[in-house]
Amino acid sequence: MTQDQCAHRNTLQEKTRVHKVGIYGWRKRCLYLLVLMLMILILVNLALTIWILKVMSFTIDGMGNLRITEKGIKVEGPSEFLQPLYAKEIQSKPGHPLFLQSSRNVSVNVVNGNNKILTQLVAGSDGVRAQGKLLEIKSTTGKLLFSADEQEVVVGADRLRVMGAEGAVFSSSIETPHVRAEPFKELRLESPTRSLIMEAPKGIQILAEAGDIQTSCRNELRLESKDGEVTGDFLYPRFEGSVGPIQDMRSQQEDNLSEGCPDLNMMVT
pLDDT at 226: 78
Instruction: Provide the H-helix boundaries in 1-62.
Output: 3-16, 26-55
If one counts every other C-beta atom within 10 angstroms of the C-beta of residue 230, the result is 12
Q: Walk along the chain (269 residues) in steps of 10 and give the mean pLDDT of each run.
A: 57 56 77 94 95 81 75 77 80 82 84 88 89 91 91 85 79 79 80 79 78 79 78 71 50 46 37
Q: Give the start-to-end residue ranges of the domains of the chain.
A: 24-73, 104-136+145-159, 206-269
> What's the pTM?
0.47
pLDDT at 161: 81
Q: How far is the C-alpha of 35 from the C-alpha of 53, rounded, in Å?
A: 27
- ∠ CA 177-178-181, rounded to 5°: 165
pLDDT at 122: 92
